[in-house]
Chain A
Amino acid sequence: MKSKHLKNFYIFLVLLFLFLPIFILVVYSFNSSRLNVTFENFTFDWYLSLMDNVSLLEAFKNTLLIAFVSTTVSVIIGTMGAIAMHRYQFKTKKALDTLLYIPIVIPEIVLGISLLSIFTLTNIELSLITITLAHITFCVPFVVLCVRSTLSSYDDQIELAAMDLGANKFKTLFYITIPSLLPGIASGALLAFSLSLDDVIISYFTAGPGSNTLPLKIFSMIKMGITPEVNALTTIILLFTIIALSLFIIIQIKKNKKG
């Protein structure tokens, strides 16, 4: 019995380590003092002034936009690629497979400078578009891996059955293949979305002078002086994240109970 409490305490400590820095930001978002040192009075002021902080809000909007676009694109092309690589044999399959592992394995900074170099060489101006292209590049391989893990236990026979029953190729794809791969596609999407939101390094190298995203904004703010409005924004982001993840947990738990 005693060892069970110790184990629970250990789990608590590790989660505390992961969450304390985030929790502090949430607490300080309600602090009337600017300095993030002592807690003075409770206030909503930072949430109000956040609404006027145009550049911070724009950075957040850009970050979300990049995450949505790169997740959508990488889920679509990653799923198609995974299905094609599962179903067809072609000469360059092995090469493509190897290429897919490069963004996963090499240090992020190397992908960052490679993309910066190639954009410079081809005179493509750095902007939000180059960041999005870069994000798609490192998200796609993870989507492929996720979809593939579902494909490995997927029974091709049901497609034949659907076609025997008169469904054409597109109907089979939309009514049979994609729904059965949905768990893999969903976890690929979640992974791609979080990778994109979390990324600092690749955005840092592929951002143009005018492209303002949240990590870049905060990076310069930490060096020059950060305002508590960032804490307020973090709290709002966290709130949405927790709601989304709670839904995810509920779905998972229901699935666990079924299976």
Chain B
Amino acid sequence: MSKKLPLLIMILPIAFFMVFLVALPCIYVVIISFMEKGIYGGIEYIFTLENYKLILEPLYLKIFANSFFIALVTTIICLLISYPFACFISQKNKTVQTILITLVILPFLTNSLIRIHGLIILLRDGGIINNFLLNINLIDEPIKFMYNQTGTIIGMVYTLLPFMILPLYSNISKLDANLNDAAKDLGANKFKTFLHVTLPQTKYAILAGSIMVFVPTLSYFFVSDLLGGGKTMMIGNVIKNQFLVARNWPFGAALAISIVLFTLIVVIVYRKMGGKMEQLGGVSYEK
């Protein structure tokens, strides 16, 4: 007993949160997703598959396709921006590296909505970028950066970029430079060295970063709300509306479960390929 007591004291609080605020709520959402909706927005506890059938309607399939498209484009753009960035800062000395990577984290400490507000001031029709371009006569009328798919993608890339940079940097900064020299000595050019030496070593960081960008994109409804202007409906927006506006919780729950299933499949594939779970928490960059 006396041996078990410290264990209980240490483990009970965290277990409480994980059981009552993670496990049970998730199970409850799964149950809701198989229930009928009440007339006044409540939940009728009668089993049905209707909510999942509704997802297969062309309207919602289109929203799914569109969301995955936006998430994919966002992920690719983030990867293309972050990879060279992570490589270049890894070549700096340790002090400069610390400063630069802290600068990447800094925006996190202001709320993402505040940053989106700044982005809107830059991008809107009468915004700074358009005004500047109009003033130097490069364009005749404002470019529509906002209230369309482009706006949503710019907003997602802007909000989620650090999630790609951090795992890539943590991986690339620890690579052994001797391997690159060895490849060069053996006659490989820069491109070949990158393709056969650097890239395979950073495979898991690329995968982890991609998951950390792709999955949130599906759920960041405020970005598509504010920058997409309601024209780009994403799954996140539909779930939010079902829960807070239309009050059809069972359907909202079914949509939520379907993106969770998708996420689980992605994570299982990632693990099967040999990826580490803690890398998905973005924590491995801490030394």
Which residues of A does B touch, CB under 8 Å? Answer: 7-8, 10-11, 14-15, 17-25, 28, 36-38, 63, 76-78, 80-81, 83-85, 88, 90, 92, 96, 99-111, 113-118, 121, 133-134, 136-137, 140-142, 144-146, 148-149, 169, 183-184, 187, 191, 193-195, 197-198, 200-201, 204-205, 214-215, 218-219, 222-223, 226, 230, 234, 237-238, 241-242, 244-245, 248-249, 252-253, 256
Contacts and interface: CB of A to CB of B under 8 A. Distances in A.
A135 B162 CA distance: 21
Contact of A10 (B88, B121, B226): B88
Chain A at the B interface: mostly helix, strand, loop or mixed? helix
Interface in B95-111: 95, 98-100, 102-111
B219 interface: yes
Contact of B249 (A110, A117, A144, A149): A117
A101 B277 contact: yes
Given A10-B84, A24-B122, A114-B26, A77 B13 contact: yes
B61 interface: no
Given A11-B88, A133-B21, A234 B13 contact: no
B94 interface: yes
Chain B at the A interface: mostly helix, strand, loop or mixed? helix
Interface residues of B, number: 89
B253 interface: yes
A222 B240 CA distance: 18
Given A105-B263, A117-B253, A222-B113, A17 B25 contact: no
A83 B89 CA distance: 34
B136 to A, nearest CB: 16
Contacts of A116: 243
Given A145-B281, A238-B110, A256 B94 contact: yes
A31 B223 CA distance: 26
Contacts of B245: none
Given A18-B161, A222-B116, A244-B109, 6 more contacts: A14-B85, A18-B107, A63-B111, A108-B220, A198-B111, A201-B222
Interface string B57-96: 0000000000000000000000001001100110100110
Given A25-B121, A113-B256, A256-B98, A84 B110 contact: no
